[in-house]
Structure 1
Amino acid sequence: MTIPTASVSDASHIAARGAIVAAGLALLALGALHILRPDLDPSRQMISEYAIGRFGWLMTVCFALFAAASASLFLALMGNTSTLVGRIGLIFLLVAATGLAMGAAFRTDPLSTAPEAMTFSGRMHGVSFMIGVPGVLVATLLLSFALRTHETWIGLPLLSLMAITWLSLAAMAIAIAVTMKHLGVDVSSIVGWTNRLFMAGYALWVIVVAWPMAR
Structure 2
Amino acid sequence: MSTSSSAPSALVSTLALAAASVAVLSLTSLHLLRPDLSPPSHMISEYALGAHGWAMTVCFAAFSASSAALLVTLWPRLKSVSGRIGLGFLSLAAIGLGLAALFPMDPASTPPEAMSLSGRLHGVSFMIGVPGEILAVLLLSLALRQQSPRPKLLVSLAALVWISLGTMVATLIMAVPQPGGVVEGFFGIPNRTFMLAYAAWLMVAAWPHARLAARGAAQGAPAAA
TM-score by length of 1: 0.91
Name the CA shift for 1:6/1:50 in 2 (closer, same or farther; >3 Å).
farther
Q: Is the 8 A contact 1:19 1:73 kept in 2?
A: yes
Q: Is the 8 A contact 2:57 2:101 kept in 1?
A: yes
Q: Percent identity?
A: 50
Are positions 1:88 and 2:91 aligned together?
A: no
Aligned residues: 206
**1:208 aligned partner:** 204
Q: Is the 8 A contact 1:42 1:193 kept in 2?
A: yes
Per-residue deviation, residues 147-193 of structure 1 (Å, max 9, x unmatched): 1123x435450010001110000001011122369xxxxx9532001
Are positions 1:170 and 2:162 aligned together?
A: no
Are positions 1:196 and 2:180 aligned together?
A: no
Are positions 1:115 and 2:112 aligned together?
A: yes
**2:220 aligned partner:** none
Per-residue deviation, residues 108-155 of structure 1 (Å, max 9, x unmatched): 0011110111111000000000000000011000000011123x4354
**Structure 1 unaligned blocks of 5 or more:** 182-186
**Structure 2 unaligned blocks of 5 or more:** 178-182, 212-225
**1:184 aligned partner:** none
Name the CA shift for 1:209/1:42 in 2 (closer, same or farther; >3 Å).
same
Q: Residue 27 of structure 2 aligns to which amino acid in structure 1?
A: L
Q: Is the 8 A contact 2:175 2:184 kept in 1?
A: yes
Q: Deviating runs (4+, > 6 A) in structure 1? A: 5-8
Tell me, in whole angstroms, the C-alpha distance in 2 between the residues paired with 1:13 and 1:143.
18
Higher radius of gyration, 1 or 2: 2
Query: What RMSD in Å do the two structures reach over aligned CA positions?
Result: 2.1
Are positions 1:76 and 2:80 aligned together?
A: no
TM-score by length of 2: 0.87
**3-state DSSP of counterpart to 1:109:** coil
